[in-house]
């Protein structure tokens, strides 16, 4: 065994995450997993939203020295333009950094422990880095930090665009149960930029990737994974749920400091009595919707833990959390708790949590599924609409808050999921899904390790 591990450590995997919380987290979880299976790991990263190397002494970290334009780093930037600019800015520095690591192979001499680069694993949204690695002759795997279903919609994008679907409630052929309205929205002023971005992401996988790694598991997405495998004729490794498989502690991967005090507050609450509310790390709501959320929570009569992070309200202050509506703090003094960032995985695992009002980012969705917590869904953008549709219509573990965020509708939805019969049925199904998640096998991880270990170095 020791010999096998030593042989594997000669295989170095170079990882490159997209520098946002929902992407850094699964990439670092994958890093921990690959290292625990005996591979040497180097994480190339941007200075923007850089991970903290001190939290991962077992990994090597190398900054790529990018020069990011304001449109990437300024808060509230348009997401499509942000992703395109990020790809452009990272392409050359990523290529240079990877080329330097390849050169080490020649210089290594007697230092066998360094390991030679066997392959790269690059966030699938970083199409420029996927292409750059392939151009350097490095086998490159694209990491999908979203669901297999979402990835399928991106692969199908040119076909969907040409078909010009307009009926929002129409089922999309070959992507059922997704409706047109569940697909990644590409309307408005950034439509062309977003279309261009999706086309490049799909193009890079088809032309440059040697395989795809997806943070999902067969128990929830077997049909979607089978279809991707048929369509791409590439190895597709379903290695999720990565937070369970890697056993990486949550505090290792968070980019913000969580307020752990809310756990002590949860300890004082009866089982399944508290609604946890969080819209993730980047989604925003308008000022009016924020107020309706607050008064809806107050009107529901249900205890809640609400993450109100800086930047949550569009156009508001980016450094400080938005002010709560007048009179709201008084209203909820005995029944609510507000934090700017929660230790989410611990919160979802807490017995006091009854349901999760979520934007359906893929990490949040998986974390909720793995803890058997039913969801109230409020998808905001990107893959969140796809995830919300699967939560509500495929797995049956959640319901929509409502098309419009209005206090009366909110209060009714919260009561339904927390104390209604519908909520109880969703909780039962969520419990079954939790069992499936905990039984997810490491077969696909084994084949990923075998695949990487078999690559020449
Ligand atoms: C973004 C996109 O919004 C999402 O659609 C895509 O799937 C991934 O990138 P994000 O908004 O960050 O994701 O949401 P999500 O994927 O759910 O990731 C958020 C992460 O932050 C989760 O791992 C969650 O546990 C963590 N989190 C969130 C906290 O630790 N504390 C909080 O208070 C809120």
Return averaged pLDDT per consecutive 10 residues of the chain, 457 residues in all. Answer: 61 96 96 95 95 94 90 74 92 97 66 78 98 98 98 91 79 92 81 88 97 97 96 95 92 90 96 97 94 96 96 86 90 88 97 98 97 97 95 97 94 96 96 92 93 92
- As a whole number of angstroms, the distance between CA 127 and CA 143 comes to 11
Give the tens place of pLDDT for each residue, 277-294. 999 999 999 999 999 999
Q: Is 278 in the pocket of ligand 1 (CB under 6 A)?
A: yes
350 is catalytic: no
> 125 with 90: CB under 8 angstroms?
no
* Site to substitute for ligand 1 among 143, 244, 280, 282, most atoms within 8 A of C-beta: 280
CA of 22 to the centre of ligand 1 (A): 5
* Site to substitute for ligand 1 among 363, 366, 379, 389, most atoms within 8 A of C-beta: 363
Q: How far is CA 92 from the centre of its chain?
A: 26
Catalytic, out of 11, 45, 56, 123: 123
- As a whole number of angstroms, the distance between CA 229 and CA 244 comes to 24
Q: How far is CA 354 from the centre of its chain?
A: 22
Cα torsion angle, 332, 333, 334, 339, sign: positive
> 418 with 412: CB under 8 angstroms?
no
- As a whole number of angstroms, the distance between CA 20 and CA 49 comes to 7
User: 79-107 and 127-135 are packed helices; what angle lies between their axes, rounded to 10 degrees?
Assistant: 30
Q: Is 146 in the pocket of ligand 1 (CB under 6 A)?
A: yes
Q: What is the pLDDT of residue 1?
A: 47
DSSP letter, residue 166: -
User: 148-155 and 191-208 are packed helices; what angle lies between their axes, rounded to 10 degrees?
Assistant: 100
> 279 with 359: CB under 8 angstroms?
yes
> 122 with 26: CB under 8 angstroms?
no
User: 79-107 and 191-208 are packed helices; what angle lies between their axes, rounded to 10 degrees?
Assistant: 30
Q: Which residues pair with 120 in a beta bridge?
A: 14, 140
56 is catalytic: no
Please give the number of the atom of ligand 1 that sits closest to the Cα of 254.
Answer: 30
- As a whole number of angstroms, the distance between CA 439 and CA 241 comes to 11
The closest alpha carbon to 115, from 35, 44, 175, 174, belongs to: 35
Q: Is 384 in the pocket of ligand 1 (CB under 6 A)?
A: yes
Mean pLDDT of the chain: 92
User: Counting Cβ atoms within 10 Å, is residue 380 exposed (0-12), middle (13-18) or buried (19+)?
Assistant: middle
Q: Is 284 in the pocket of ligand 1 (CB under 6 A)?
A: no
Q: Is 383 in the pocket of ligand 1 (CB under 6 A)?
A: yes
Segments in 165-305 forming alpha helices (H)? 191-208, 218-232, 242-246, 250-253, 261-267, 287-300
Q: Is 25 in the pocket of ligand 1 (CB under 6 A)?
A: yes
The closest alpha carbon to 216, from 363, 20, 376, 43, belongs to: 363
Q: What is the pLDDT of residue 9?
A: 67
> pTM of this prediction?
0.94
Residue with tokens 């799909």: 202
CB neighbours of 410 closer than 8 A, spacing ≥ 6?
Answer: 292, 293, 295, 296, 297, 299, 300, 401, 402
Collapsed DSSP state (helix, strand, coil) of residue 324: coil
User: Counting Cβ atoms within 10 Å, is residue 107 exposed (0-12), middle (13-18) or buried (19+)?
Assistant: exposed
CA of 167 to the centre of ligand 1 (A): 30
Give the tens place of pLDDT for each residue, 15-72. 999 999 999 999 999 999 999 999 999 999 999 999 999 999 999 999 998 898 887 7
Query: Contacts from 180-188 at CB under 8 Å and sequence distance 24+?
Result: 181/385, 182/385, 182/386, 182/388, 182/389, 183/153, 183/385, 183/386, 184/150, 184/153, 184/154, 184/381, 184/382, 184/383, 184/385, 184/386, 185/381, 185/385, 186/161
CA of 20 to the centre of ligand 1 (A): 9
User: Counting Cβ atoms within 10 Å, is residue 173 exposed (0-12), middle (13-18) or buried (19+)?
Assistant: exposed
């Amino acid at each position: 065994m020791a010999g096998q591990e030593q042989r594997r450590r000669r295989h170095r995997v170079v990882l490159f995450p997209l520098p946002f919380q929902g992407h850094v987290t699964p990439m670092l979880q994958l890093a921990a997993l690959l290292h625990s299976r005996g591979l040497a790991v180097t994480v190339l990263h941007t200075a923007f939203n850089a991970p903290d190397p001190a939290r991962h002494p077992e990994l090597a970290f190398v900054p790529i020295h990018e020069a990011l334009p304001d449109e990437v780093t300024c808060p509230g930037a348009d997401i499509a333009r942000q992703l395109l600019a990020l790809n452009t800015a990272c392409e050359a520095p990523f290529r240079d950094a990877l080329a330097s690591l390849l050169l080490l192979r020649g210089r290594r001499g007697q230092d066998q422990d360094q390991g030679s680069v066997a392959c790269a694993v690059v966030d699938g949204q970083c199409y420029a880095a996927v292409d750059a690695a392939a151009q350097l002759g490095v086998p490159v795997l694209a990491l999908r930090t979203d669901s297999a279903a979402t990835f399928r919609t991106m692969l199908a994008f040119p076909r969907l665009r040409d078909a010009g679907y307009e009926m929002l409630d129409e089922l999309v052929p070959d992507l059922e149960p997704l409706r047109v309205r569940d697909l990644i929205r590409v309307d408005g002023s950034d439509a062309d930029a977003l279309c261009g971005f999706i086309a490049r992401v799909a193009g890079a996988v088809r032309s440059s990737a040697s395989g795809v790694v997806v943070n999902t598991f067969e128990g929830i997405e077997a049909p979607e994974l089978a279809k991707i495998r048929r369509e791409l004729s590439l190895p597709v490794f379903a290695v999720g749920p990565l937070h369970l498989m890697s056993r990486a502690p949550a505090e290792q991967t968070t980019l913000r400091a969580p307020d752990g005090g809310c756990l002590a507050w949860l300890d004082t609450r009866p089982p399944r009595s508290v609604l946890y509310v969080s819209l993730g790390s980047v989604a925003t709501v308008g000022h009016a919707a924020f107020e309706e959320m607050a008064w809806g929570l107050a009107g529901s009569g249900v205890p809640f833990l609400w993450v109100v992070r800086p930047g949550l309200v569009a156009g508001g202050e980016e450094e400080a959390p938005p002010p709560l509506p007048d009179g709201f703090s008084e209203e909820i003094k005995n029944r609510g708790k507000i934090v700017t960032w929660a230790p989410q995985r611990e919160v979802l695992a807490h017995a006091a949590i009854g349901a999760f009002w979520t934007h359906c980012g893929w990490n949040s969705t998986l974390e909720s599924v793995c803890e058997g917590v039913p969801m109230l869904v409020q998808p905001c953008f990107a893959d969140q609409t796809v995830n919300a549709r699967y939560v509500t219509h495929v797995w049956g573990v959640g319901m929509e808050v409502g098309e419009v965020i209005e206090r009366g509708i909110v209060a009714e939805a919260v009561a339904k999921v927390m104390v209604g019969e519908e909520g109880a049925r969703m909780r039962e199904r969520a419990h079954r899904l939790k069992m499936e998640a905990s039984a997810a096998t490491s077969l696909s991880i084994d084949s990923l390790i075998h695949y990487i270990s078999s690559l020449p170095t």
